[in-house]
Amino acid sequence: MHELKLEDFNTINHLLDTDYHFPEIRAVVEGNQPGWVFVDRIEEPHTAMIFVGEANGFMFVGEIIDEFLQGLNPFIEEVIKPRLLEDGINYFECSGSSPKWNQALKNELIKNWYVKEWECLLFEFKEAQFDLEKSLSHKQVRKVNEALLEDRAIENRDWLLEVIKPYWRSMNDFYDKGIGYVVIDDNQIVSVCHSCYVAGDVYKVDIVTLKDYRKKGYARLVAQAYIADCLANDKVPYWDCMIENVASHKLAESLGFEVEDVANYYDFYFKQDTID
């Protein structure tokens, strides 16, 4: 197993045409989001394991090679586990880029780790179904930029940074490549929709709303602004959510997204007592 330097991530571009559409993979490989890339060989890799930083997750692409699979458990134990524990993380997610990959991972990794399995809905945006309503038009919607974060009238700018910064190498990178909108109510940012991953022209949606302001239409309002910006600049909005997240599923469909596929994810825990 070999770890690639950031400047060499593009050597796995030929492995990125996968069954499942995971923009997180390309976002890391393109250098937009923090992550690590491990391969079976430095020259012309056949298989790669991409760590997506903020998701604490590994995505597997390329050929399913027995030798690679058999080396995963010791590699995770000796290299990955200490890195994650150092950051206070006692589990990792993983998903393969195809159903065959998922079965291979489950068969190999379940030997050493405590596993929780869950499903993720992957959506495709249908522009013809997007309706830019003017609901809640009395609320202030602003684009995330330097001017917003320097506006001292807004009381919780630090919260906005806490939401966005973990996904990006720097805020300047976000300003250059990302898109974000917020809803402001009584000098408070109450909801934010931002690009958590950017891969080419694909912009993945992440929405966070303060607890007291949920179920009031703010998430829809801020998502509409985000999607409208994507469309105005020839970007493709992307959405996914856990299958049990009914609210996110309904919101996505109301904004013009349709379920395209269902992907399996696995959470591997280092300790039994961390499983709920």
CB-based contact 4:170 (threshold 8 Å): no
Given a cut of 60, whether residue 130 has pLDDT beyond it is yes
pLDDT at 275: 46
* CATH entry 3.40.630.110 includes domain 2-122+264-274: yes
CB-CB neighbours of 92 under 10 Å: 22
- The boundaries of every CATH 3.40.630.30 domain in the chain are 127-255
CB-based contact 138:167 (threshold 8 Å): no
Given a cut of 90, whether residue 145 has pLDDT beyond it is yes
CB-CB neighbours of 203 under 10 Å: 26
pLDDT at 273: 47
CB-based contact 174:168 (threshold 8 Å): yes
Q: Write down the mean pLDDT value for the chain.
A: 90
Instruction: Name the amino acid, one letter, at 49.
Output: M
- The boundaries of every CATH 3.40.630.110 domain in the chain are 2-122+264-274
CATH topology of domain 127-255: Aminopeptidase (3.40.630)
Given a cut of 90, whether residue 269 has pLDDT beyond it is no
Percent of the chain's residues with pLDDT above 90: 69
Task: Please tell me the distance from the alpha carbon of residue 168 to that of residue 175, in angstroms, as a whole number.
Answer: 10
Residue listed under structure tokens 């090679």: 65
Rounded to 5 degrees, what are φ and ψ at 78?
-90, -30
Task: Please tell me the distance from the alpha carbon of residue 116 to that of residue 264, in angstroms, as a whole number.
Answer: 11
Three-state DSSP class for 98? coil
Query: What does DSSP assign to residue 79?
Result: I
Query: E-strand spans in 20-65?
Result: 35-39, 47-52, 57-62
Rounded to 5 degrees, what are φ and ψ at 69?
-60, -45
pLDDT at 271: 62
pLDDT tens sequence across 94-119: 898 888 998 888 888 766 676 788 99
